Amino acid sequence: MAVATQLTDKTDEQRAITEMVRQFVDEQIIPNAEHYDHEDSFPGPIVEQMKELGLFGVTIPEEYGGMGLDLTTYAMIVEELSRGWISISGVVNTHFIGSYLLRKFGTDEQKETFLPRMATGEIRAAFSLSEPEVGSDVQGIKSTAKKEGDEWVLNGQKMWVTNGLLSDLVFVLMKTDPKADPPYKGMTCFITEKEPGVGENTGKYQGLNVPPKIKKMGYKGVESTELVYDGYRCPPDRILGGEEAGVGNGFRQMMDALEVGRVNVAARGVGIAQRALELALRYSQERKTFGKPIAQHQAIQFKLADMATKVEAARLLTMKAARLKDAGERSDLEAGMAKLFASEAGKEVVEDSFRIHGGYGYSKEYEIERLYRDAPLLLIGEGTSEIQRMVIGKKILERNKI
């Protein structure tokens, strides 16, 4: 019982901030998400309000102008935002990963240059590993950076960059030693600066181009793009952690960041599932068949029971992974479990809610239609379910070696 309390309770600060975010979601996000989703347009006014609420600086230390809150509180906020619309959490997520990388590995100069403006949302960050031929197998990336004179020259094509167009910074993984064995030892993370909203960068950011955004089934509003590095010049002080510490360490840095990224995706799964459950609870008490509300049919009640159980279990796994990370414990196994379970639960609970809505679930008049298109993304981003199972399997064996 004591453990359950510890895992579910919020501190006063966490309660205050999640209530504030929930109110913002109910008033500003849920009523407007349909419009932006339909138009596939960036929710600028919502993002501006998020800046005012300080939501771009939740985990950035106070000395850099952020709130200095932990991953657990961040995960609670992400759940609330995703309950409104997962695209909104997508606007914040890569930014959060970028600020995590800077906090953990950045030089003092890099922190001072970027974190204060990131905390206010004045500049926003993207995070780029994937390429057209490589997603799961990150060690297979082909993009390269070569030192020429005092600068590094970046070439290659990146794929699926969330916030690829409107961001100001991209934390990008490049191969700096193509002969390295194993390959991950020859990879480096560069902080590449660019003009937000510009397809073809010129001047000092020349050589970084953003093709038109990728058309997607869901997760609209937040853009996903390719990025083409074509002779982009990067000074050595824009290697994450500096040239000496950073060259050859990019893979390790990015994998560390993915661990917190996975907690974030798990929290998104909880949020979207929570919303789908709420919609199903309401609809099933309103809709009548065979003379009674469908919620009175046992088959529907059982569905609701399974949905609610999955939401609660997903939330507990997510909180456990976040709290372990905050406590400085290893959480790769737990983050993998949380991501796997919560993303699958998100998809399943959304589908059950869709079924409960009958034919109306197929109509764009009903919110569940959007959730149905949005939920599958969570099975893919930050590592597919198969990749999570590989991580979990490997770690569970490591921890139980005979």
Ligand X SMILES: Cc1cc2nc3c(=O)[nH]c(=O)nc-3n(C[C@H](O)[C@H](O)[C@H](O)COP(=O)(O)OP(=O)(O)OC[C@H]3O[C@@H](n4cnc5c(N)ncnc54)[C@H](O)[C@@H]3O)c2cc1C
| Interaction of residue 127 with ligand X, rule CB under 6 A | yes
Rule CB under 6 A: say whether 135 interacts with ligand X.
yes
**CA-CA distances (angstroms) from residue 158 to 54, 68, 143, 176, 194?**
30, 32, 8, 15, 15
Q: Does 9 bind ligand X (CB under 6 A)?
A: no
The answer to whether residue 42 forms part of the interface with ligand X (CB under 6 A) is no
**Amino acid (one-letter) located at 200:** E
Active site residue 382: yes
Which of these ranges, 61-69, 129-137, 236-244, 322-330, lies near ligand X under the rule CB under 6 A?
A: 129-137
Does 386 bind ligand X (CB under 6 A)? Our answer is yes
Among 32-40, 300-308, 311-319, 373-381, the segment contacting ligand X (CB under 6 A): 373-381
Q: Tell me the C-alpha to C-alpha distance, in Å, between residue 271 and each of 264, 317, 374, 383.
A: 11, 13, 12, 19
Please, is 243 exposed, middle or buried when counting C-beta atoms within 10 Å of its C-beta (0-12, 13-18, 19+)?
A: middle
Site residues for ligand X, 66-105, by CB under 6 A, read 94
CB of 140 to ligand X, least distance (A): 9
3-state helix, strand, coil in the chain (%, to 5): 60, 15, 25
Nearest to 283 by CA among 377, 369, 375, 347: 369
Which of 28, 110, 162, 225 touches ligand X by CB under 6 A? Answer: 162
The C-alpha atoms of residue 91 and residue 87 are separated, in whole angstroms, by 6
d(CA 75, CA 261): 10
Is 378 a binding residue for ligand X by CB under 6 A? The answer is no
Give the whole-angstrom CA distance, residue 369 versus residue 360.
Answer: 9
CB atoms within 10 A of CB 52: 9
**Residues 170, 257, 266, 387: which binds ligand X (CB under 6 A)?**
387
136 binds ligand X (CB under 6 A): yes
The answer to the question of residue 160 lying near ligand X (CB under 6 A) is yes
Is 184 a binding residue for ligand X by CB under 6 A? The answer is no
Peptide bond into 182 cis (omega under 30): yes
Catalytic residue among 195, 382, 386, 398: 382
User: Which one of the spans 22-30, 181-189, 326-334, 383-391 is the region binding ligand X (CB under 6 A)?
Assistant: 383-391
Instruction: Give the footprint of ligand X on this chain (CB under 6 A).
Output: 94, 127-130, 135-136, 160-162, 216, 219, 224, 377, 380-381, 383-384, 386-387
Q: Among all residues, which ones are annotated catalytic?
A: 382
